Amino acid sequence: MAVESSPAEMPTQYEPAAAERRLYGWWVERGFFHARARTDRVPFCIVLPPPNVTGRLHIGHALDHTIQDVLTRRARMQGFETLWLPGTDHAGIATQVVVERQLAKEGIDRRELGREAFLERVWRWKEQYGGEIVEQMKALGDSCDWERLRFTMDEGLSRAVRVAFVRMYEDGLVYRGERLVNWCPTDQTALSDSEVEHEEVEGELVTFRYPLSDGSGDVAVATTRLETMLGDTGIAVHPDDERYRDALGKRVRHPFDGRELPIVADPAVDPAFGTGAVKVTPAHDPTDFDIAERTGLELMNILRADATMADVVPEEFRGLDRYSARTRVHERLKELGLLVKEERPYPHAVGHCYRCHSEIEPWLSGKQWFVAVERLKEPARMAAKEGRVRFIPDRWARNYDEWLEGLRDWNISRQLWWGHRIPVWYCPGGHEFAAVQDPEACPQCGQADIEQDPDVLDTWFSSQLWPFSTLGWPDETEDLATFYPTTVLVTGYEILYLWVARMIMSGLYLLGDVPFRNVLIHGLVRDARGRKMSKSLGNVIDPLGMIERYGADALRYALARMASPDQQNLPLSEEGIEAGRNFANKVWNAARLILRVYRGGVPELPPPERLAAAQKWLLSRYHGCVADVSGALDAGDISEAAVGLHRFIWSEFCDWGLEMEKGRLYEGTERERSDAANVLAWVLERTLRLLHPIMPFVTEEIWQRLRVGESIVLASWPEVGELEEWAPRFAEETELPFVFAQELVTEVRRFRGDHGVPPKSTIELRIAERAPGRRGLVGPFETEIRRLAGLSSISFVEKGFAGSGYARLLVQGDPVLIPVGDLFDLRAETTRLREALETARAEEARAEAKLGNEAFLAKAPPEVVLKERQKLERLEHETSSLREQLEQLEAAGS
């Protein structure tokens, strides 16, 4: 799809919308993003953290995807066999809840519908909305291999889940047990520890008394969840607590149902806290559960699945929800005079459901499935310690390690319907077995009326297999052989434990190797759910709206610019995206200029002896840019790369590089024009390639107009070594003269501005040579200086030159004289020079003091001392010049 339009047809403003759609479709059609498993190239692979199938792309995805696409596109240009594998997650709870809500609007409860009909509804929902996020990824420009698109409930991935489960089951790593679980009363399912978010709430701590049943007094206990006292089955004190020595073995009487609760001793009780006595509610508190196990206290489950009071509690509380029950218990204790103390507010952390945000109840929900993590965690810790998995930034490695160290068994059964059903069957004969294929009968006793476990697996159970299940595991596919372990995983830190750590454990266990060699962890964009952050920027930023308005490149640039690995919070504003849009437009217009003078084809650099100093300068700056960008990307610092490109393109290439070529381009000889055009096109073409991973569309759009190849997607990544031979020489040759030229031009422009001298009136400039060699400094850039500063001529005068009617500027200590005639008011300039003299003198004094310091001379490295000497020399030169100028001015003015 070579672009046929000529430069003249390039509008003055870049228009992203049409270009993006056209280019993306063409890229996919040409198969540029498709990776081959049979390859001689070195593989590079990223698997996309699968977004929820029914989700919409939010700004957090946009960031995550931008980083991945930058790495992917660059790897492709570097010649790797590059695979970015996309896919979506069925997101068990999240999706089920959405569909349930949908049904609720129609007045239907999922239980009425039945499991199969309900699942049909979910699948229909998935078909309807499941593709949306894929389309949105395309709008962003994600260069995924769409031929490999996966979904966690695909046939292949479902089989991977079963194989993994069965293998772990048979290996004793998956077991079934009855323990307290984190129960969400709203979603009515168990959750793993990782799915519980602890948050501070302003609670209350209520202390009340249990009367001893022998009438010899009472025992005070405290709680933040007063309603749980209905399920108390004992009181515990520390075994060594003197205060309760006599109470041990006695009983207290429950004030509402008269049950007698034993007082037991357990070391888990902290005698220093509160009264030193703890009410024990084994069925509703993990610590209490453990105490009960050790001391033999009974379990009393007082909650129903929806967190209302069960029938075991006294009638007056029955059916109340937990909060009403709390109030009611409070009232009744007060009536009975058993309340001792109320502390309110009493801030403490309470677990909340990560999906619906209800308060979690520790609850006995019958038997649940668990993964025993003891044997999994050590290999995973070792892999990080030995560097087989590298975290970027590496401080996450420590968090990872400590999390694994404290990890407890993982509850994987969910009381949901949407998900991978647990592949375990039970037969009336009491046998239990796991199978990859649906069995017809019990393998032990042959009975046919077997029943499958009703629960489904935690979504993260399938997610943990993602880096290899997507590549074909458990089959030994070519994809798996080529691309596993993958190169890098890119993700936010919020799912480091939920997901990343588990992939490492399962990859090591099931395949014997880590799933990825690097984990690039980025910060969080202030997100769409309006989550905290006191300094909220206000409204949610919708990536798609931004793409429509400013273009995908603009959004990508804004995100890339923030994506520094060290940053945890990545604030994004619409102004930032606007800046991205402006940048794209800047590149576009630089290209417009060049395309007016460059005919297309592969640019060729003129031989070095034909290069103007300005061209050598530009080439050496370009060389620095390649090194910076490559270095930044190697270190995973997308931000650094984006900022470096912006600086080079805008402040160096456009502001000076292009401006300095205009003379040759518009007024030069035929050869000068052609050489200048080639140099500019050469730098532009390579710069586009450097920028392409971040801003794929505008770079392709321009690159094709340069007619250097089919697509920039397949172009090679610019070599740092390309100018290795010349760049240092160019830099050395041009650096000092360029800085002088730049300062001179700026000073003259400032002078024009301050005194209203219009750009069109040319100036005959004189430079008083104070030091030898100034002519040599001006020479290489003389024509450029004249053009940019609007000078008709530059001449040199002796240093004592004392003509009147001149304004006197100072450039690097050299007096620069601008003829201004008799009517010109020089007072402003005089003031300016005075101020300049003052600062220069202050700096001079500082340098003198430093060089007069013996310790400095003795201990500072020689190059620092040398630098300081040069600085002092320069300042001396400058102050004496300034004094002289002032004298001249005063003489002329008087």
Binding mask 830-859 for RNA (x = CB under 7 A): -------------x---------x-xx--x
Minimum CB distance to RNA, residue 6 (Å): 14
User: Considering the complex, what minimum distance in angstroms separates the CB of residue 324 from RNA?
Assistant: 19
Residue 123 or 497: the one with the smaller Cβ distance to RNA is: 497
Give the whole-angstrom CA distance, residue 359 versus residue 352.
Answer: 4
Dihedral through CA 550, CA 553, CA 556, CA 558, nearest 10? Answer: -60
Interacting residue with RNA among 864, 869, 873, 887 (CB under 7 A): 864
Q: Smallest gap, in angstroms, from Cβ of residue 315 to RNA?
A: 25
Report residue 423 as tokens.
Answer: 């592949």
- 364 sits near RNA (criterion: CB under 7 A): no
- Chain centroid to Cα 268, Å, comes to 41
SS3 state at 201: strand
CB of 422 to RNA, least distance (A): 24
**Binding of RNA by 533 (CB under 7 A):** yes
Of residues 215 and 406, the one with the C-beta less far from RNA: 406
In the complex with RNA, the residue whose CB is nearer, 347 or 512, is 347
> How many whole angstroms separate alpha carbon 119 and alpha carbon 110?
9
The window from 415-423, 567-575, 614-622, 625-633 that contacts RNA (CB under 7 A) reads 567-575
Q: How far is the CB of 409 from RNA (least distance, A)?
A: 12
Whichever of 398 and 729 has its CB closer to RNA, that residue is: 398
Q: Which of 485, 480, 476 is closest to 507 using CA atoms?
A: 485
Residues 104-123 that bind RNA (CB under 7 A): none
Residue from 673, 749, 877, 883 in contact with RNA (CB under 7 A): 749
- SS3 state at 438: coil
Return the amino acid letter for 333: L
Residues 654-713 that bind RNA (CB under 7 A): 654-655, 658-659, 662
* 194 interacts with RNA by CB under 7 A: yes
Region of 86-94, 143-151, 197-205, 883-891 interacting with RNA (CB under 7 A): 197-205
Number of residues that bind RNA (CB under 7 A): 92
Task: Pick the binder of RNA from 113, 579, 731, 851 (CB under 7 A).
Answer: 579
Residue 463 phi/psi, 5-degree rounding, is -60, -35
Strand partners, 177: 368
Angle at 618 between CA 616 and CA 624, to 5 degrees: 105
The stretch among 64-72, 318-326, 328-336, 530-538 that binds RNA (CB under 7 A) is 530-538
Opening angle at CA 265, ends 261 and 270, nearest 5: 110
Among residue numbers 286 through 305, which ones bind RNA (CB under 7 A)?
Answer: 286-287, 290
Site for RNA in 582-621 (CB under 7 A): 582, 584-586, 589-590, 592-593, 596
First to last CA, the chain: 73
Handedness of CA 311, 315, 321, 323 (dihedral sign): negative
Is 810 a binding residue for RNA by CB under 7 A? The answer is: no
Residue 397 interacting with RNA (CB under 7 A): no
Residue closer to RNA by CB (options 349, 714) is 349
| Selection from 754, 597, 605 nearest residue 663 by Cα | 597
CB of 115 to RNA, least distance (A): 32
Q: Closest CB to RNA among 256 and 493? A: 493
Q: Which is nearer to RNA, 125 or 682 (CB)?
A: 682
Q: Hey, which residues between 398 and 417 contact RNA (CB under 7 A)? A: 398-399, 402-403, 406
Q: 339 - beta bridge partners? A: 208
Q: Is 271 in the site for RNA (CB under 7 A)?
A: yes
Single-letter amino acid code for the residue at 708: V
Q: Provide the token pair at 650.
A: 């805008």
Exactly one of 871, 876, 877, 886 binds RNA (CB under 7 A); that residue is 871
Q: Taking contact as CB under 7 A, which single stretch among the options 76-84, 243-251, 708-716, 741-749 is the one that binds RNA?
A: 741-749
Q: What proportions of the chain, in percent to the nearest 5, are helix, strand and coil?
A: 50, 20, 35
Helical spans, DSSP H, in 115-188: 115-129, 132-140, 155-170
Cis ω before 393 (30° cut-off from 0)? yes
Helix axes 543-550, 132-140, angle to 10 degrees: 40
Q: Which is nearer to RNA, 100 or 878 (CB)?
A: 878
CB of 701 to RNA, least distance (A): 13
Determine contact, residues 769/798, Cβ cutoff 8 Å.
yes
Strands 763-768, 791-797: pairing kind: parallel
Residue 279 binds RNA, judged by CB under 7 A: yes
